[in-house]
Chains A and B, each alone.
Chain A
């Protein structure tokens, strides 16, 4: 949860999905990692790369921002837990997910959180 707030504080644009989103929506799930659907675009990719480099246990293992347009996801272990940045999902679905998402405060940071139906649908898709 805090990973998502820190990512947002670092000015990365994303929609939180997965167990953290469902938990914030009041659903009875245990929080695992933070799954973030990343807004496509060069500027956001550079911000994401810089933020992950500050958060990760092993910054040297984070790929260059320019590779983000090709890879499906970037998974990083941080001191806040694991963060999965869903880049391919962002390229495919950013507009639709973003329109249905709403802002929820985590600490004093507003995090864009997917609608519960979208979060469940994505969860089923990834788990099946």
Chain B
């Protein structure tokens, strides 16, 4: 991975290919078949592999800082696959342009790698809030003796783009020790006290799988009479599930069976795998040290300007 931009080899080839084809943020989208042909020419990567990376660069539920602005069917959180690269288009996002400029040395480096992490590619570095990482880098520049605890507080906990909550041994993560985080959807009783709303599933599960699984867990099993305790513990008292998601967000509403309190259904839902998931994480060194090391490597360059450009690009993608 290039430390200047945080881009991997394939990602760098994709943004460079988009740029060479005229796919800038303020220009028209380029057919992805052409983009992938250009990537193949640059690094010899077959289109099938490159396409998976390109799709992820544009998917808001994967990348906190999106480098590509996609047009067409890029798949969805319900598990629907993307359309073939013959039918989808892309261009650089504002952040993609900043990353490319940093990669080429036209702009000081940007800490996109620290923000995006790599857990979406089975790596162990989780994503963080863009504002947190940018704020921490600025603070180190402004006040080199800022304490590690202050930096950890500025950065905040890992922040996955689906909006799930993150719990676990965050102190171990910040100290650079391997740990396992628990990612949990937000499960709340509706204001009408008749339903339970589930929002923001963990990024490594898809909504279609979870919805099918909830429906299966609501069915009565053949063994229910023989094992009433197990049935009570595992069967979900669900009358209906309504998928109310919009665009790239996860949201569904669960209606409890008559006689079941929504609070009780909420507690049971919280235990369903898929509504929670785990992710193993580890940073190569303590989080404050990572930020300080990054700043030290590029302190001679105009980091404040590149950070301002990145912050502006991130604000424009929201």
Contacts and interface: CB of A to CB of B under 8 A. Distances in A.
B226 A54 contact: no
A73 interface: no
Given A10-B223, A57-B274, A79 B230 contact: no
Most buried by B among A54, A57, A80, A82: A57
Given A2-B234, A107-B230, A108-B229, A79 B213 contact: yes
A1 B216 CA distance: 19
B289 interface: no
A74 interface: no
Contacts of A58: 209
B216 A79 contact: yes
B223 A79 contact: no
Interface residues of A, number: 20
A9 B230 contact: yes
Interface residues of B, number: 21
A126 to B, nearest CB: 16
A78 interface: yes
A9 B223 CA distance: 6
B120 interface: no
Contacts of B213: 57, 78-79
B185 to A, nearest CB: 13
A77 interface: yes
B227 A9 contact: yes
A54 B224 CA distance: 14
A6 B273 contact: no
B228 A80 contact: no
Given A9-B223, A57-B213, A80 B273 contact: yes
Interface string B199-238: 0000000000110111011000101001111101110000
Contacts of B232: 107
A109 interface: yes
B272 interface: yes
Nearest to B278: A32
Nearest first, the 7 closest Cβ-Cβ pairs linking A and B are A108-B229, A107-B230, A79-B213, A9-B223, A57-B209, A107-B229, A81-B273
Interface of A: 2, 5-6, 9-10, 30, 54-55, 57-58, 77-82, 106-109
Given A57-B210, A80-B234, 17 more contacts: A2-B230, A5-B230, A5-B234, A9-B223, A9-B227, A10-B223, A54-B221, A79-B217, A79-B272, A79-B274, A81-B273, A106-B230, A107-B234, A108-B228, A108-B229, A108-B230, A109-B230
